[in-house]
Amino acid sequence: MPPPAAPRMADSLAFTAFSMLRANGEVLQFQLMHAAAEQLFFEGKRHLAARDAQRARACYRRAVAIAPGLAEAHAGKSLLIVHEGGYGDMIQFSRYAAILKHGGARRITLVAPPALQTLLAAVEGIDDVLPSDAAIARSEWDFWVSLMSLPHLCATRADSIPAGLPYVHADRDAVARWRPTLPAPGTLVGVVCKGNPKFENDEERSIASFATLAPLADVDGVNFVDLQIGEPQAAPAALDSKLLHPGHRVEPFADTAAIVDSLDLVICVDTAIAHLAGAMGKPCWVLLPWHMPDWRWLAERSDSPWYPGAMRLFRQPARGDWTSVIARVRSALDEFVASGRRR
């Protein structure tokens, strides 16, 4: 894996701008592009709906929002971290609970989708996890804060991302239950080629068919596990003969984490599985679209400061070009297998 790249000005500017705009109650994504040699620029684009601030204030009106810049404001206090974004966002930013706890917070409660409750309950700093689809007794906390405002409140910049790995762990009983169901010999690789079809950029980030991944089946000594939840999709015979489909038996995300724990590598498009593998410290290769890659992957880098040492980024050189991406992944997979890295 290439050494981590030093933070660049474009990365820092984009991250800082994102953080500042979050403080004003907006969710923005940045597309980082290069204009010409040695000249980088970034373009801010509203990519997700603005935070529904009125709804949030109504829901948590008996609690007090944390004031930005007051590092001591939460010392000895109880905090409610409000569900925001998708599954991947929840996994990525749950790491901030440990920072708040180390800063003196007495009790931290996270509101999360039911599918993530079990997984995130074990994250350092989180004392309780409440389901996002249930009523909440609003008077139990001193402060509330939206999940994706935490980087701003913790003064995070591109060169100061809290990136201790792993901070998400699989349940050991679940690992013991799943491990015997997985192929034992050789290198074991989890794959995901599609994200949530309701995501507005899903057409760009998802790969239409397992057929695109077929060249990976040519690598000797590799078996694959389809980490896609639900009924299996068709795959070419050469790949399907090496591909296990446990998705219809998986309860996300605790079971998925147990499976990932037993893998050597995860190869996926930009979905929550990328954040799960990264947060677990599992080697993970993320396939990124040329058009509108997510802001968190920064500009042109082949690594991620959010998941140092664990994540490698493979970017499309042109819009829609997954063929050359998979060719590079296949070559890298040959090297990975030859290196003998094992779970």
Q: Quick one: pLDDT at residue 295?
A: 87
**30-34, 69-73, 84-88, 116-120, range with the lowest pLDDT:** 30-34
Cα angle: 262, vertex 216, 88; to 5 degrees = 50
pLDDT of 68 over the 60 cut:
no
pLDDT of 23 over the 50 cut:
no
Number of residues that make up the chain: 343
Q: Quick one: pLDDT at residue 33?
A: 33
Query: What confidence tier does 200 reach under pLDDT thresholds 50, 70, 90?
Result: confident
The per-residue pLDDT for range 112-170, each reduced to its tens digit, is 999 999 999 999 999 999 999 887 776 678 888 889 888 888 888 888 899 999 999 99
Q: Quick one: pLDDT at residue 343?
A: 66
Query: What confidence tier does 45 reach under pLDDT thresholds 50, 70, 90?
Result: very low
Edge to edge, what strands does the sheet with 64-65 contain?
64-65, 143-146, 78-82, 107-112, 128-131
> What is the CATH number that goes with domain 172-339?
3.40.50.2000
Average pLDDT over residues 212-228: 94
Distance of CA 144 to the CA centre of its chain: 23
Identify residue 141 by its one-letter amino acid code: W
- Residues near 176 by Cβ (< 8 Å), separated by ≥ 6? none
- Residues near 237 by Cβ (< 8 Å), separated by ≥ 6? none
The per-residue pLDDT for range 265-314, each reduced to its tens digit, is 999 999 999 999 999 999 999 999 999 898 899 888 999 999 999 999 99
Average pLDDT over residues 194-207: 87
Among 154, 341, 191, smallest CA distance to 277 is for 191
Residue ranges of the domains in the chain? 9-45, 53-153, 172-339
Cα angle: 172, vertex 175, 177; to 5 degrees = 110
The reply to whether omega before 253 is within 30° of 0 (cis) is: yes
**41/39 Cα distance (integer angstroms):** 7
Among 325, 57, 134, 129, smallest CA distance to 216 is for 325
Average pLDDT over residues 178-191: 92
**264/209 Cα distance (integer angstroms):** 23
pLDDT of 16 over the 90 cut:
no
Which range has the top average pLDDT, 41-55, 58-72, 317-331?
317-331
Among 142, 152, 144, smallest CA distance to 68 is for 152
**55-69, 82-96, 136-150, range with the lowest pLDDT:** 55-69
Helices then strands, counting H and E runs in the chain, come out as: 12, 13
- Residues near 343 by Cβ (< 8 Å), separated by ≥ 6? 188, 261, 262, 263, 264
SS3 165: coil
Q: Quick one: pLDDT at residue 211?
A: 92
Yes or no: say if 107 and 78 are a contact pair by the CB < 8 Å rule. yes
Number of other CB atoms surrounding residue 58 within 10 Å: 10
* C-alpha dihedral, 272 to 5 to 317 to 319, nearest 10°: 40
Q: Quick one: pLDDT at residue 73?
A: 65
Query: What confidence tier does 253 reach under pLDDT thresholds 50, 70, 90?
Result: very high
Q: Quick one: pLDDT at residue 10?
A: 46
pTM for the structure as a whole: 0.83
Question: What are the percentages of helix, strand and coil residues in the chain, rounded to 5?
Answer: 35, 20, 45
Q: Quick one: pLDDT at residue 160?
A: 87
